[in-house]
Structure 1
């Protein structure tokens, strides 16, 4: 396991156990010397998308000292800010969240003393970017419905998607909504398609939150 993965694993264990955690905190502090920025994202699909986009630009974030850390849910942001922020490692921070979860990020960034009276523009200045409505929605709008359907076909999932579209709850909904729901229908699919959709992006039309975040770090 390389040091960036060890650091991420130790940080997750430290955040789960709290600021007073023993072994995990020690390991995270030991490895933090090789980290210049921590990027806090809601889930593994966000991590995959950002790292895949960086790779398309010829960048290896781990080698650059950028640790992309999934929170396993936006409501965990407070725990991670406690161990990564001024009272913990004190490293530069950035992040990515959905518009519906922005309030959690804003509240805890203010609580740990990194800002006050935050607006969306203020979040961006700190390096925290917001997806509308979420990462899947951003990627679908960037690629267009037909582009996403081509990716689904390339993944061999045309039949499952057709079956999904024919469900009574989905039949009358716009195709963009159907696509977004389909990408999250089982564990692992979001991360799989985050990789595949980013690989298909025109680099001149990258979703703004991803592009701004990658530029920031």
Structure 2
């Protein structure tokens, strides 16, 4: 198990509290002391996959640069992770990515740990936190276009599954962009798979702004 994975696991146990939290905190501090400088707090595994894939396309290895991308397991966990990564805990430089519907959680907890007051969207960006409208999948679908996304689905061998999905009564009258967004989230692991695949297929001059700005920040 590499050090970055060990750090993520230790950090999760520390943030989760409970009887293992103190031991996990010691482990996380030791691992962070090996050159970690920045924690990028993202909602889930698809954000992690997208950011690391984009970094690789630019010839960057975030882990080797001392940047740890940390999936929160949901935006409502941002407070716990700010407590362990931010000023109350490890004191790392911070950045992050969230969906527009979850922005309020990020604002509230960034303010709580002393990283801002009455934060606006511009204020969040100045701190390194960027907001997807409506979410990462929506951003990538708009960047690639419906045809481009379907080409990626074809490469993944899932076009038949997508056509079957389109023919479901609840989907037939929806725009194809809505169908695609819903399809990408229908199975466990599919969001991360397609986050990686879509970013790999994307022209670098059409990278969604939140993802591009976040990578530039770190």
TM-score (norm 2): 0.98
Shift of 1:18: 6.5
Answer yes or no: is 1:104 the counterpart of 2:105: yes
Cα deviations by residue, 1:167-211 (Å, 9 ceiling, x for unpaired): 000000000000000000010000000010000000011000000
3-state SS of paired residue (1:187)? coil
Answer yes or no: is 1:148 the counterpart of 2:149: yes
CA contact (8 A) 2:78 2:105 kept: yes
Moved beyond 3 Å, runs of 4+:
none
- In structure 2, the residue matched to 1:204 is 205
Shift of 1:21: 2.1
Measured at CA, do residues 46 and 7 of structure 1 come closer, stay the same or move farther in structure 2, by a change above 3 Å?
same
Shift of 1:8: 1.2
Question: Which aligned pairs between 1:183-202 and structure 2 lie closer than 5 A?
Answer: 183-202=184-203
**Cα distance in 1, alignment partners of residues 148 and 128 from structure 2:** 29
Question: Which aligned pairs between 1:13-52 and structure 2 lie closer than 5 A?
Answer: 13-17=13-17, 21-33=21-33, 34-52=35-53
Measured at CA, do residues 19 and 140 of structure 1 come closer, stay the same or move farther in structure 2, by a change above 3 Å?
farther
CA contact (8 A) 2:13 2:20 kept: no
3-state SS of paired residue (1:204)? helix
- In structure 2, the residue matched to 1:64 is 65
**Cα distance in 2, alignment partners of residues 69 and 18 from structure 1:** 20
**Cα distance in 2, alignment partners of residues 55 and 193 from structure 1:** 16
